[in-house]
Structure 1
Amino acid sequence: MQPTSKLTKLICTSYIILFLLSPLLISTHTSELFEFPKILFVYASTIIITTIHLFNITKKSQPIFKKHPLNLPLLLFLLSQTISTLWSIDPHTSIYGYYSRFNGGLLSLICYALLFLILNVYITPQFKTKIINTSLVSGFIVSAYAILQHFGIDKNFWVQDVQQRVFSTLGQPNWLSAYLCILTPLAINRFLKSKNTSSKLLYFHLSLVFFIASLFTKSKSGLIALPISLLIYFILNLKQHSKQLLPLFGLLTILALTIPNPIKSKIFPTSTLNDSNHTIPSTINITPSQDIRKIVWQGAIKLWQQYPLFGTGTETFAYSYYWTRPAKHNLTSEWDFIYNKAHNEYLNFLATTGSFGFLTYFLLILISLFQLIHHRQYHLLASFISILITNLAGFSVVITSLYFFLIPTLAKPNQTTDTNPPQPTNFLFKLIIPIVSFYLLKQTWNYYQADLSYNQAQQYQQNQQLQTAQQHLQQAVKLRPSETIYISQLASVQAKLALSQSKTNQQFSQQLVQQSLDNIHSLDKLSPYNLNILKVKAQTYYYLSAIDKKYFSSAIESLVQASLLAPTDAKTFYLLAKFWQVGGNSNQAIKNYLQAIKLKSNYDHACFELAQIYLHQKQNKLAKQYLQQTLQIAPNNTQAQQLLQQIKP
């Protein structure tokens, strides 16, 4: 780069740090280990970069942004997300993203947009080279760790079988694979363009490391995206680099057919041996992920049909999917999972932000592709296409979003970072910038501290240290007063604590009851469509009903409301039946157990509970029917076996 100001150098350094550290950040102290530290780092980086850029404007009188073909589509896209947030069924979630996912909320999208617009001001060929080099260095660290994971370096640390499917510092095999799909074309491009032998060897081996780590993820979406994106890159460069590409293509093919992965399994399926030592219990039925996704996609399309213009609100799929969730989802192995994304980025936008959000997103993609093709940036084109493919069967995370929004900026770097003669600037403007920046950084820090307190509270709850858990949750709520997950957990802990103190300290117990009720009531306004919140409310009222029976009806009301929001969720009807059963209303319990079984015919727990009610009512024929049905689903249920034997023929 040509000589530039210290502020410009500081901005460039901030971007380099962003690309270097974003994939690597992980925290064992937060409630979510991988995405949460990454998104907070993006928030902080955006604040710092924007602040320095604004100071640079005051010193050099530069335009805030430079012209770029993507500026208008990007602003239209942000407008669509803003409108969907304003009309959202849960504005807080639409702004910050679903808790535990975080990426995709309006705030994160604003950050990516600002990072794009500001990078476009400072990008030069030299700076572009540094960004790609930094990305490759970070990618090597991530890949090296992934390969070591495959050989068991941390197999005892994770609950998941990380040796079978590695995830490194990304947290999930599909996310790691999507990230490596972005980097592999960049490494291969460096291999082809390098002039000296040592550089060629370096980038050749780096390409192999990325490719091998990708195979170790065993991600179907990634292992579809990678060969397609590389094939496009190879075809576009074959005429110029055929002598290098053909041997490389052959080597990658050999690796793909040697290292165990889904592609190899499809081409060379292994024979299944009828070995008694390797039989899988017949009751275990893992539904193929593609079959589950098809069901979720059906629900997403129905949701869009009901809310075609602006959707249900940015990032609200976790709540609104239950409205159109196909009943056959109950018959899959992931029937009780929370689907906070549609597992298809495009359908996710369609369902949650409507046609306006989807079309502006599609326009953004089309113009990005046009720019990359027009400027013959085929390595960046391959990387960008890989993101589009992995998003077909998944969703974007922090690192893939970062590259999605910033890759188009690298298509045609400026030759220099132009500066204009200094002009006088308003002193008040210079004063406001650091104040606003400090406030935003403080809010980001508070977000981090609140999550630490929340995570500690979860641990104390597990150890039944309720008073300490309450203190940490109160601290979390103080730092983030509108975070419903903190408030709901605080209400639950206060109800449990009130129950434990009800015999020994009634005055303190009543104070806790009132505090718990206040927190529950605040949730009605903050998150009225959150099914999980409603279930926590029901549980909280249930604890309070042990102190005063009048609260039991409120527990039932919460679950009835949940059943109206999730008319095809078998588990909600099962819980409602359990509550009615505890309350002594057998008729309502039977009604809801039957509804649960209607929605999920293999619901063994519901069948067993229903059989016990019928047995208690001396309706032996019905009891026998549902006990037999229980054993057909769960033949190892010894209680059902014993009860069935007790029934007289």
Structure 2
Amino acid sequence: MKIASYCNKIIRYSFYSLFFFVPLIFFGNTSELFEFNKMWLTFGLTIVIGAAWISKMIIERTISVKRTPLDIPIILFLISQIISTIFSFDSHVSFWGYYTRFNGGLLSLLSYIFLYYALISNLQVKHVMRILLISLISGIFTALWGFPSHFGYDPTCLVFRGSLDTNCWTDAFKPTVRVFSTLGQPAWFAAYLNVLLPLSITYFLINAKKKLNLFAVCCLLSAVLFYTCLIFTNTRAGNAAFIVSDIILWLILFSKKFYPPKTLLKHFLILHFAFTTCSFFFGAPIDSLNKFTLPQLQKKLVASAQVSSNSATKPAIQTNSITDSGDIRLLVWRGAIDAWKAYPVFGTGVETFAFAYYRFRPPEHNMTSEWDYLYNKAHNEYLNYLTTTGIFGLGSYIAIIGTFMFLCLKKIKMIKHNTNPEKEKLLALNYDFGLCTLIFALFASYISILITNFFGFSVVIISLYFFLIPAFFFIITKPVDVSRQETHPPINLFQWTLIITVTSIAIIMSYRLYIYWYADTAYALGNNYDKISSYQQAYPLLEKAVNLEPNEPVYKDELAINLATLAQAFYLQNDATTGAQLAEKAINLSNQVIENHPNNVVYWKNRLRILYSLGTSDRQNEAQYLKEALRVLVKSSELAPTDAKISYNLGVLLGQTGSLQEAVKVLEKTTLLKPGYVEAYSALGLFYHQLATDQTTTPPSTQLIIKNPQMQQKAINTYQYILDNFSPNDDQIKNTLKTWKEEK
């Protein structure tokens, strides 16, 4: 049947497009350049594949979904995610995924599982071989895009700014330090490269059996390119994943003896000599070996020259305020485990780690350089599932991994080199050898994913490989006989009606995806205008985003902040009528957001910003805004009890509203949460002094009588502590301290 054949082609080419374009695609006009667009492309192609597959089944008058050994673990995993979404802290986030990330939400997991069954039910070995080859080609383009950025020439900046440099990135994202290419972050790029490296090595080995094979040389060069870019990512997890997966791949290859040992050893040496050469020039994957690399040797020479030329100069003391990422990760993991203990079975809800971690964040996190960062992932995929979906979610996730690993090892153990002359003829055609070595490569690639996921989390392309590598494996190990062509009766009117209905639904779903994407572009531009204080230009864009996608709270929240700022401007211009109208809209939008998403502390923080903007400009309702701000801070402190900034703001507001005793208690707690919080000590000293003079208003008057010498001494000690430990040259603190010491 011709239409069924077209459906097959649509399915195949959609999968080809998926693995070619997802690593490459990014846009500069969305709120998140990389992951958001990759996820939306995946959603779109999933819809296309789904429509074609369902239409094919309608034509064939049968439900053709192949059974696999992973069916039970996958079903259990899906059930765990659905239950977790139902009982989630925030069901909207659990369904769609955390905004800008989206990967990991229930919708994305449904897409990956659907793609798994679509691939295994519709593709054959030759199609899998093409997908793997397309993956390598896409990987080459991705690596070539990122390669020059290490040397200061980023093609992304050329596209965005028209200049081939790295000036389009902030200092935190300089690709000259850590390359990320079109993936968005170095760790994600490293994880992607680690999936491709075993495949490129395997394709080199398969084709190196032929003399002077240009394709083999290309595969060798691609492996070297991937390895070099892996070095440029400068990620410990990526390096560890490469070392482990490379060792596993070669141990299997040498043990199976498909190659004559000398030939295999020769190819091993060629590859690893190339890798070693790259390591010498650009850096080694093992830190202890870095001292032997050219960059480190050059640094030593420069350092020794500087020491000799400045031997008479006393070196300045260097301090490093950046906390090691490993130390921060351990704190995040501890908070993740504490959150799981509170919600052990189904977790806090799919993709709600940001909310869960705020509630259980270790106080020690306030001592790090990232003390005020938002963590929406556990930086460990397994702990992320444990926290957000409980033991049920993690258990079923590990069941998928464990079952697949067991089947892989079982199959690898069964594969043996047959020395039968007739079998050697088949080996000469590279068919058996190629498929077997591809199985080994897929196993090694999967191992690399498990390692990088332990120290990070999956992104779209890694999730695709995580769910679809098992499908590749099952297709390769159990090829389907397609020699017999089935015939089907002509399509009747009822079938045409179903096909048209399916196609219409697919078009509607695709259109909804586009509208969401388009709304994000409006939100992104409006948000950028807000950041540069162009609030009037931002307003119509943010309103457009809300109108296009009224169910997205992120848009409403940003619009509420924008309206409050505009209201403040009108109040300051003595246009109270317009200011009041905008203020009412801002409050109403904020009310909607926090009523529907009460567990998201970010929205409560933003509500505080709104109330502050309105309270400082609308003097008539200032008391009302302060009262509501106090309620917001109390609620925020419940959602994030160890957040030092929330605790500080609560203490200050309590003091401003006259509750000095409570303010002092909160600020004392704040200084315990973050001992280096200068602003908290400053406010605490001020409130100690007000208690010493029995004042309930601020600022203090000039004529003071000390009624509580103990509190006065605490105030003096606190400001002296600031001078001794944090700000020895702060004139304001010095003058205030001098005044306090003279008071009686």
TM-score (norm 2): 0.82
Cross-structure match for 1:568:
642
The answer on 1:408 being equivalent to 2:470 is yes
2:604 to 534, 559, 568: 534
Measure how far apart 1:281 and its partner are.
6.2
Cross-structure match for 2:291:
268
Which one is further off, 242-251 or 272-281?
272-281
Cross-structure match for 2:428:
none
The answer on 1:552 being equivalent to 2:626 is yes
Which one is further off, 405-414 or 365-374?
365-374
Counterpart code for 2:286? I
Cα distance in structure 2, aligned partners of 1:11 and 1:164: 40
Counterpart code for 1:264? D
Question: 1:460-480: CA deviations, max 9, x gaps?
Answer: 223433233222222211222
Which one is further off, 420-429 or 194-203?
420-429
Which one is further off, 603-612 or 32-41?
603-612
Question: 1:146-180: CA deviations, max 9, x gaps?
Answer: 21011110321211221011110111110000000
Cα distance change on mapping 1:209 and 1:542 into 2, 3 Å: same
Cα distance change on mapping 1:637 and 1:78 into 2, 3 Å: farther
Cross-structure match for 1:360:
396
| Superposition pairs of residues 618-629 of structure 1, within 5 angstroms | 621-629=713-721
Cross-structure match for 1:249:
272
| Superposition pairs of residues 435-446 of structure 1, within 5 angstroms | 435-446=504-515
The answer on 1:524 being equivalent to 2:594 is yes
Cα distance change on mapping 1:124 and 1:427 into 2, 3 Å: closer
Question: 1:480-530: CA deviations, max 9, x gaps?
Answer: 222221111111211222222235443333322222222122123321111
| Superposition pairs of residues 622-637 of structure 1, within 5 angstroms | 622-635=714-727
Measure how far apart 1:625 and its partner are.
2.6
Cα distance change on mapping 1:556 and 1:191 into 2, 3 Å: same
Question: 1:366-395: CA deviations, max 9, x gaps?
Answer: 122233334441100010110000011100
Cross-structure match for 2:217:
201
Cα distance in structure 1, aligned partners of 2:317 and 2:541: 43
Which one is further off, 138-147 or 467-476?
467-476
The answer on 1:394 being equivalent to 2:456 is yes
| Superposition pairs of residues 67-216 of structure 1, within 5 angstroms | 67-154=67-154, 155-159=166-170, 160-194=173-207, 195-196=209-210, 197-216=213-232
2:347 to 311, 321, 326: 311
Cα distance change on mapping 1:564 and 1:188 into 2, 3 Å: same
Which one is further off, 277-286 or 387-396?
277-286
The answer on 1:230 being equivalent to 2:246 is yes
Which one is further off, 258-267 or 387-396?
258-267
The answer on 1:39 being equivalent to 2:39 is yes
Cross-structure match for 1:51:
51
Cα distance in structure 2, aligned partners of 1:278 and 1:242: 54
The answer on 1:590 being equivalent to 2:664 is yes
Measure how far apart 1:282 and its partner are.
5.1
SS of residue in 2 equivalent to 1:64: coil
1:610 to 678, 684, 689: 684
| Superposition pairs of residues 479-494 of structure 1, within 5 angstroms | 479-494=548-563
Larger RCO (CA within 8 A; separation ≥ 6): 1
Q: Percent identity?
A: 35
Cα distance in structure 1, aligned partners of 2:727 and 2:80: 52
Cα distance in structure 2, aligned partners of 1:630 and 1:262: 44
Cα distance change on mapping 1:127 and 1:643 into 2, 3 Å: farther
The answer on 1:467 being equivalent to 2:490 is no
Cα distance change on mapping 1:4 and 1:481 into 2, 3 Å: closer
Cα distance in structure 2, aligned partners of 1:632 and 1:41: 56
Cα distance in structure 1, aligned partners of 2:683 and 2:30: 38
The answer on 1:379 being equivalent to 2:441 is yes
Counterpart code for 1:638? D
Counterpart code for 1:602? G
Measure how far apart 1:56 and its partner are.
1.6
SS of residue in 2 equivalent to 1:411: helix
Which one is further off, 248-257 or 234-243?
248-257
Cα distance change on mapping 1:636 and 1:55 into 2, 3 Å: farther
Cross-structure match for 1:14:
14
2:366 to 330, 337, 344: 330
Cα distance change on mapping 1:608 and 1:176 into 2, 3 Å: same
Measure how far apart 1:285 and its partner are.
2.0
Cα distance change on mapping 1:103 and 1:636 into 2, 3 Å: farther
Cross-structure match for 1:458:
527
Cα distance in structure 1, aligned partners of 2:11 and 2:315: 59
Cα distance in structure 2, aligned partners of 1:605 and 1:599: 13
Question: 1:62-94: CA deviations, max 9, x gaps?
Answer: 533112112332222111101100010100000
Q: How many residues align?
A: 648
Which segments of 5 or more consecutive residues in structure 2 lack a partner in the other structure?
Answer: 155-165, 413-438, 694-710
Question: 1:229-275: CA deviations, max 9, x gaps?
Answer: 01100100023333312442344245335522562356639778896
Cα distance change on mapping 1:419 and 1:441 into 2, 3 Å: farther
Which segments of 5 or more consecutive residues in structure 1 lack a partner in the other structure?
Answer: none
Contact 1:371/1:408 (CA < 8 Å) preserved in 2? Answer: no
Larger Rg: 2
Cα distance in structure 2, aligned partners of 1:39 and 1:209: 26
Cα distance in structure 2, aligned partners of 1:576 and 1:284: 31
Cα distance in structure 1, aligned partners of 2:314 and 2:407: 54
Measure how far apart 1:399 and its partner are.
0.9
Cα distance in structure 2, aligned partners of 1:640 and 1:297: 41
Cα distance in structure 2, aligned partners of 1:131 and 1:355: 35
Question: 1:130-154: CA deviations, max 9, x gaps?
Answer: 1011111111111112210111103
Cα distance in structure 1, aligned partners of 2:314 and 2:81: 51
Counterpart code for 2:453? N
Cα distance in structure 1, aligned partners of 2:315 and 2:248: 42
SS of residue in 2 equivalent to 1:601: coil
Contact 2:190/2:233 (CA < 8 Å) preserved in 1? Answer: yes
Question: 1:170-220: CA deviations, max 9, x gaps?
Answer: 111100000000000000000011143212211111100000000010001
